[in-house]
Structure 1
Amino acid sequence: MNQATADRTEIAVVGSGPSGMIAALLLSRRGFSTVLVGPRAKADPRTTALLDASVAILGDLGIWEDIAPLAAPLRQMRLIDDTGRLVRAPETLFDSAEIDLDAFGYNVLNNDLNSVLEKALAASSVTRIEALADAIRPGDDGVEIDIEGRATPLRVQLLVASDGRSSRARDAAGIAVQRWSYPQSALVANLSHQRPHDDTSTEFHTPHGPFTLVPLKGNRSSLVWVGEPKEIVAMQALDDAAFAREVERHAKSILGPMTLESGRQVFPLSGMKAKTVAANRIALVGETAHVFPPIGAQGLNLSLRDVADLGDACERARSNGQDIGGGAALSAYAAARRGDIDTRIFGVDTLNRTLLADFLPIQMVRGLGLYLAGRVGPLRRLLMREGVAPSFRGRARSA
């Protein structure tokens, strides 16, 4: 790998989680001299469902072929109303074949995904600096980055901020955020089970949030259990065998007896949205720009669309002879992302809050919506296509 110097480095990506690694790979493949700043990703037993549009992005980077053997296809998605309320929605099944897809997406262990990305980085022209960014100073013609353990700062035209929801880079750009919370916590774990999942993700809608089992390779599934904090804390406190029995009970034994494979992780549910995704030579991607509940497999998929649109904005700026970190390029990126981010956050937030609502008319509207989705083919197919990737999604355009 080439050793970057401040006077010839175009882009620094700060933050080395999956979004940061993919951003560095994509920008480097598009011909920009790129530095990735951040320590290696920590072990992460959670999973990520990569939807079809994300698979296409990873395919263009030449790394999907290494991820595919490690991932389980999601060919069907089943929604079951388990609220026990007076008005309940009928069971609804979405089948990827109906919109001419082999699968909606593929579920993969984060550890496996990170391993493939690390291997791709090692073979790329991306310069890796495995240290934290201490200070970030945006200016009129570049961004200076003080890096832990380095005597001289790194200077770049554009900084890509992928350093998470408490981002120093976002603060340096002067970008404000809106934050909110939910009266819920989420528990995630991986389990093996006796019966096959048949490549079907099953989501039980409960009065306190969705309880979702997503296929993994073999007779295994990842669990995302959203509920009242006291309920989730009680589940976390059970021993492994008792917890597996509770999961089987909540899943109506559709997958048979279960065995816990990985440690359980619990976190409170919250949301965050940056007021803009670009300012002062700093572009935000991933959880630096948006955070919402783990519902509908939208998190990393939205982040990958951030990365793809940022790459488009940089390429277009270069072809027009413009500064890749200048106002025109960043405005084009922000415009391209606005509708996608706003609609995804609104959709996930609305779905979650309708589950929590005790107001009968809201329950009736939700039930009617799912009834129509199950019975009206054109509506069902539209919802499936929009769930995989927004059809209106704009492309970055420079002025």
Structure 2
Amino acid sequence: MSEKSLDVVVVGAGATGIAAALAFAREGYATALVGEVRAARDGRTVALLDGSVSFLEALGVWDALAPEAAPLETMRLVDATDNLFRAPNVDFKAHEIDLDAFGWNVENATLVERLAEAVGEAPGLTHFPVSADGLGAVQEVFAPGEGEPDEAEEGAERAVRLADGSSLLASLIVAADGRGSKLREAAGIRTRSWTYPQKALTTILAHERDHRDVSSEFHTRHGPFTLVPLPGRRSSLVWVTAPEKAEALAALDDDALARAVERQARSLLGAMRIDGPRGVVPMTGMSVQRYTADRLALVGETAHVFPPIGAQGLNLGLRDVASLRDAAVSANTDPGSRAALRAYERSRALDVRTRTLGVDMLNRTLLAGILPADFLRGAGLHALSAVGPLRRMLMREGVTPTIGTPQLMRRREPRAVAF
């Protein structure tokens, strides 16, 4: 068995994992990315919020991605539940919080492809396109001085075992290997999982009318129906509904599905045409007992999973990465030290839990179908529509947390919107 020693090993070659590898290599750490890059086109897109775009700019990826992304200048909520306390439409406009756009929408596969292209050009970054099987024990590189128990882990490494029989040693291992993470299981980190009586149908649509950079989210009794702009007269669809309906919709031919989407969208964008592949995704949730273990940090869907509502999922994962980078850099020569991992744990606890809870509560109020839940949701939307300071506070917090924004997610200069 061969071994190679590095500063940081990132396991998982999805968008979050690749971004983590690029971020650490950018700081001069000898970094490895473990995993095969897969960029399957399944109709899914990601709305990269402003802080995530700043992060991708810092990684040198955004210029290659921008031409294939569409700005989100307005985010519109439409109450389509037909309940007794029907709320008004609420428009969140980016200019109210001094942004050109809340973010940019791009196909998931395109994002992964552009990130993967940057891997080959990043100094100090080595890609191992194999899977990881598990973790080894922590090994001290040098013996600590007598009477220094807090230093016992400084200079230590931990091994990642690869499927080809080799091992990689690193000061810090970043687990970005998804909700079924082998590394999280090997570290003994407990999880809590739950399911919703929903599935999401995803696809890409072409349409007759201009979307005018407006993302429209219809709240229905079975979940949100969302149309998010793409370049040109195209939009991505996330239709969260009952599992049997999602499967029935997915089984329709292109013309019939396009008509069903147009009806559900109340002909907002005119006649529609299916313009990409489609997928069906079960709605689930997962949280973890903790975000770190010895020499190990969890990021992205290894640490949290919730429904695709409010454009929070991948943005939260990228914020994990940016926060971990800050914690590691502050630790100077030892990115996996206890101090660094404690700082990372503190930075993620409130951010992840509040957003997981917020998405979960919104989704469950739609499904509840009871008057008190309808009243509370309707009253909340009325308040957001009428009270400007409240609306602007929610918008700012939704784009990037007010407290603890990672360094690479802070805006450095105005960003122009391309027309």
TM bucket normalised to smaller? over 0.9
Contact kept, 8 Å, 1:81 with 1:88, in 2: the verdict is yes
Q: Please list, as runs of the form range in 1=range in 2, the aligned pairs for 1:72-151 lying within 5 A after superposition.
A: 72-125=70-123, 126-140=125-139, 141-150=156-165
Q: Give the alignment's Cα RMSD to 1 decimal.
A: 1.5
Match of 2:414 in 1: none
Amino acid at match of 1:190: I
1:139 is paired with a residue whose SS is: strand
Q: Distance in 1 between matches of 2:391 and 2:404?
A: 20
Rounded Cα–Cα distance in structure 1 between residues aligned with 2:210 and 2:385: 24
CA distance in 1, matches of 2:374, 2:134: 49
Please say if residues 319 and 406 of structure 2, whose CA atoms lie closer than 8 Å, have aligned partners that are also in contact. Answer: no
Counterpart check, 1:246 vs 2:244:
no
Matched, 1:69 2:67: yes
Match of 1:164, SS? Answer: coil
Structure 2 CA distance, aligned partners of 1:123 and 1:325? 25
Please, which of 15, 26, 37 is the counterpart of residue 29 of structure 1? 26
Report which stretch shifted further, 225-234 or 248-257: 225-234
Determine if contact 1:137/1:172 at 8 Å carries over to the other structure.
no
Give 1:32's aligned amino acid. Answer: Y
Question: Which residue, out of 218, 223, 236, partners 1:209?
Answer: 223
- Asked whether the equivalents of residues 11 and 158 of structure 1 are also in contact (C-alpha less than 8 Å), the reply is yes
Equivalence for 1:334 = 345
Match of 1:393 among 387, 393, 404: 404
- 1:165-176 equivalence runs, <5 A: 165-176=179-190
User: Do the aligned partners of residues 138 and 89 (structure 1) sit closer, same or farther apart at CA in structure 2, a change above 3 Å counting?
Assistant: farther
Contact 2:192–2:287 (Cα < 8 Å) also in 1: yes
Deviation at 1:346, TM superposition (A): 0.7
- SS for the counterpart of 2:329 is helix
Report the Cα offset of residue 395 of structure 1: 6.2
CA distance in 2, matches of 1:38, 1:55: 24
For the residue of structure 2 that corresponds to 1:44, the secondary structure is: coil
Question: What is the CA-CA distance between 1:249 and the residue it aligns to?
Answer: 0.3
| Residue of structure 1 equivalent to 2:369 | 358
Q: What 5-or-longer segments of structure 1 have no aligned partner?
A: none
Comparing 186-195 with 108-117, greater Cα deviation is found at: 108-117
The residue type paired with residue 149 of structure 1 is: D
Aligned residues: 388
Kept in 2: contact 1:138–1:281 (CA 8 A): no
Is the Cα contact below 8 Å between 2:39 and 2:113 reproduced in 1?
Answer: no
Deviations, residues 239-296 of structure 1 (Å, cap 9, x unaligned): 1110100000000001011111122211211100111111121100000000000000
Name the aligned partner's letter for residue 336 of structure 2. G
Preserved CA contact (<8 Å) 2:286 2:304: yes
- CA distance in 2 between counterparts of 1:352 and 1:245 reads 26
Report how far residue 145 of structure 1 moved: 1.9
Question: 2: distance between equivalents of 1:348 and 1:135?
Answer: 32
How far did residue 394 of structure 1 move?
Answer: 6.3
Structure 2 CA distance for aligned equivalents of residues 359 and 246 of structure 1: 27
Match of 2:313 in 1: 299
Distance in 1 (CA, whole Å) between partners of 2:107 and 2:50 is 17
In structure 1, what is the Cα distance between the partners aligned to 2:388 and 2:76?
16
The 1-side partners of 2:60 and 2:281 are apart by 34
Q: Contact 2:136–2:159 (CA<8 Å) still a contact in 1?
A: yes
Q: 1:17 maps to which residue? A: 14
Aligned with 1:262 (options 255, 276, 292): 276
| TM-score, reference length from structure 1 | 0.94
CA distance in 2, matches of 1:174, 1:388: 33
Cα distance in structure 1, aligned partners of 2:40 and 2:252? 24
SS of the residue 1:6 aligns to: strand
User: Aligned letter for 1:257?
Assistant: A
Which 4+ stretches in 1 moved above 4 angstroms? none
Aligned partner of 1:272 in structure 2 is: 286
* TM-score scaled by length of structure 2: 0.90
